[in-house]
């Protein structure tokens, strides 16, 4: 098992859901990202998702798009992010997932990326726009290096495709709680419980739910039926407001603590 699988196993024994915050690597700076990751775990994060900045993030709403653009203005690259993760691993064992589009991986070189990600200490990769039907080489390279291949399932995903994804997913499956792009919402979709149960009929791999979760009450609601709770836009929005001010890390961690506590209540 890698660190993601170990963390979910430990939490399952405690009958608790994982709390998974998403932040954009390099926003506001890569140095602050490196400082924030271990602090997020101290605030209650079980796994941290690092968004790889990309110029055309089609699955992301405005908040995450703007964060990616801020990071790109600092010329943050996939090479830089892997180097940062490698440095983090000297003192930090927080499970880390890269949340990326396929283009940065393709530009890097698939085999080189798999090798360098493993060497850096990346635990999982969620590649948003890589169809599972075309991912055999990707999965082979990741599996050989014990990097979890995480996939999205949406409310519109047909059952035969859920079965396909369930067969190749490792670490966890990311259930998108609603159609559309990332972003905060006032209420959660009432179908989440049934959709998670439908996925679990095909797999024992943990199922985490994201998209739209922005409040402690949302986190608690989702944690009652899922193995993990993912929050991104609400955290990224706060980071965008605070920038590189001295208050950014403590205020973000205070917010994360409230979400994580609700998810584990």
The token pair at 7 is: 């963390």
Q: Cα–Cα distance between 184 and 219 in angstroms, integer?
A: 12
The phi, psi pair for 256, rounded to 5°, reads -60, -40
Is residue 41 part of the annotated active site? The answer reads: no
The token pair at 259 is: 């979400």
Task: Report CA dihedral (126, 98, 129, 239) to the nearest 10 degrees.
Answer: 120
Please provide the distance, in angstroms rounded to a whole number, between the alpha carbons at the two ends of the chain: 27
Task: Report CA dihedral (222, 226, 232, 237) to the nearest 10 degrees.
Answer: 10
Q: Measured at the alpha carbon of residue 205, what is the angle toward residues 54 and 160, in degrees to the nearest 5?
A: 80
Q: Cα–Cα distance between 24 and 228 in angstroms, integer?
A: 19
Q: Which of 5, 27, 46, 49 is catalytic?
A: 49
Give the torsion sign (CA, 60, 61, 64, 69): positive
Is residue 46 part of the annotated active site? The answer reads: no
Q: Which of 27, 60, 116, 123 is catalytic?
A: 60
* Nearest in space to 92 (alpha carbons), one of 133, 47, 150, 125: 47
The token pair at 79 is: 């090479």
Catalytic residue ranges = 49, 60
């Amino acid at each position: 098992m890698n660190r993601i699988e170990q963390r979910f196993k430990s939490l399952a024994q405690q009958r608790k859901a994982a709390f998974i915050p998403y932040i954009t690597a390099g926003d506001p700076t890569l140095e602050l990202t490196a400082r924030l990751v271990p602090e997020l775990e101290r605030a209650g994060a079980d796994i941290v998702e690092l968004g790889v900045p990309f110029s055309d993030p089609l699955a992301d709403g405005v908040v995450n798009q703007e964060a990616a653009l801020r990071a790109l203005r600092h010329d943050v690259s996939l090479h830089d992010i892997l180097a940062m993760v490698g440095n983090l691993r000297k003192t930090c064992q927080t499970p880390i997932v890269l949340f990326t589009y396929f283009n940065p991986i393709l530009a890097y070189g698939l085999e080189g990326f798999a090798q360098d990600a493993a060497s850096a200490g990346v635990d999982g990769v969620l590649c948003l726009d890589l169809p599972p039907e075309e991912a055999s080489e990707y999965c082979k390279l990741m599996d050989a290096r014990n990097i979890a291949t995480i996939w999205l399932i949406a409310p519109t995903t047909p059952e035969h495709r859920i079965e396909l994804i369930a067969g190749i997913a490792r670490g966890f499956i990311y259930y998108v709680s609603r159609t559309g792009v990332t972003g905060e919402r006032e209420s959660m979709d009432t179908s989440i419980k049934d959709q998670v149960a439908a996925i679990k009929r095909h797999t024992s791999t943990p199922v985490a739910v994201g998209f739209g979760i922005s409040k402690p009450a949302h986190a608690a609601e989702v944690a009652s039926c899922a193995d993990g709770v993912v929050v991104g836009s609400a955290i990224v929005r706060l980071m965008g407001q605070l920038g590189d001010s001295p208050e950014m890390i403590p205020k973000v961690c205070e917010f994360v603590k409230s979400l994580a506590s609700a998810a584990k209540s």
